[in-house]
Structures are given as C-alpha cells and as structure tokens.
Amino acid sequence: MESLNKLKIKIFADGADEKEIIKLNEKNYIKGFTTNPSLMRKANIKNYETFAKDLLSKIKTKPVSFEVFSDDLSVMEKQAEKIATWGKNVNVKIPVTNTQNISTCELVYKLSSKGIVCNITAIFTFNQLKEIVDSLHKDTPAILSIFSGRIADAGIDPEKIILDSVNLAKNKPHSEVLWASTREVFNIFQAEKNGCQIITVPHNMLGKLSTIGKNLNEYSIETVKDFYNDAQAAGYEL
C-alpha cells in the first residue's frame, strides 16, 4: 500500500454492506463512503432511514453520501433536507436529473444556498456539469460525481470530460470532482492524473489494491500457475 499512500486523491468506498463498511472504516486510506438506492437494494436493505442512522452511529467523522430517491423535485427537496439532519458528515446525493430528464440544478441551488453539502450524481456530460457548477453556492462544499466508467462503456474516453470538469469546478473552490463508476484499479491513477479530488471504488475492487506495484513477471507466473492448477483440478486430458 506504500504507493497508494503517496496518492493525493481521496479514496471512498462504494457500497451498502454495513459489515464491510465498518471494516473499511478502520483503513486509513479509505477517506469516505458512498451509497445509492441500487446498492442498498442489492444489500437487501429494507428500511432506508434505519440503515443510514445505524451506519452513522458507527461512521462519525468520515463523509457518507446518502441519495434521495423521489422523482418529484419538491419531494426530493424534502428528502434532502431530512437526510442532511442525520449527521454533520452526511453528503446528500442528488441525481443530475430526474427520470423525466428535468434538471435538478434549481434544487441544487436551493440546497447549496442553505449550506447543505450535495453530491450531485450521474453526471455524464459537460453541459450537465456546467449547469450544476453554476448552481452551487460559492461557500458551500459540494461533490460532482462524473460516471467515468459508464461513459467509457459508451465507447467515449472519459478523461476529457474529467479534465474539463476539474478545470470548470475551480470556479467553485469548495467543490470536488469525483470519479465514479470505477471499473479497475488503474482508474485511481487516471483520476489522480486528471486532477480529481476523489474516486469512489466498489467494495469488491478494494480487495485488488494489494496488487498495486506488484512485479509483473511474478504476476505472470502466478497467472500461469492458476491456469495449470485449474486444469489439473478439472482432470482435463487430451
């Protein structure tokens, strides 16, 4: 983990498995946590508020993002205001639009003006980002979550929008750009190179961080051994 400790970028853990989150909270290199309704459903969370408050009773200093889930912007606002009361380390996740493609920039403006720290999520385009940055209060911290992995899934290099986003976000000095939808460990180094302040990494990928800096010749031999051992265990013959 030596090379990991040299990075300036903050690594957040992305998931909703409470036991895993508690374990990860003990790791110094984990600087915060993100969740979303899809991850919570996957983790079989039945009661949103109960889960959140129980988690916050154990995670008291590192930031934790909880997302609103209404499609109605007025209800979204009420949910955001409620979530924000759960703790000083709570970041309220607001999707960049609702399902009808109505921008949430006015809602972000209201919340940010009240001092509520928003994590604006599911940002895919520079135009979306520009609207949101313009909506942020200059004195209120905010996180801008760019879904780099899904952008790459569309066959588009996410690094340009990341770099443009980092430069634009400088207009609101309390905002931070987060590399989201992380697909591989190398994304951490890409995010750092392009100036992101944060990257959020799925729990299952965090287990691969131990391979950072690994000797590639040794890694090659280990891989070949895996192939060989699996073939032997399967009893393959020709």
pLDDT digits (tens, 9 = 90+) for 159-196: 999 999 999 999 999 999 999 999 999 999 999 999 99
- Total Cβ atoms within 10 A of residue 55: 21
- Please name the CATH architecture into which domain 2-234 falls: Alpha-Beta Barrel (3.20)
What pLDDT score was predicted for residue 96? Answer: 98
The catalytic residue positions are: 93
Count of positions (residues) in the chain = 238
Q: What is the pLDDT of residue 26?
A: 96
Q: How far apart are the first and last CA of the chain?
A: 43
Say whether pLDDT at 1 is over 70. Answer: no
Q: What is the pLDDT of the chain when averaged over all its residues? A: 96
pLDDT band of residue 2 (cuts 50, 70, 90) is low
Quote the pLDDT of residue 78: 98
pLDDT above 90 covers a percentage of the chain that reads 96
Residue 103 per-residue DSSP state:
B
HSE of 64 in the Cβ direction (CA atoms, 13 Å)? 28
Strand, helix or coil for residue 183: coil
Amino acid at 164: D
- What is the predicted pLDDT for the residue at 207? 93
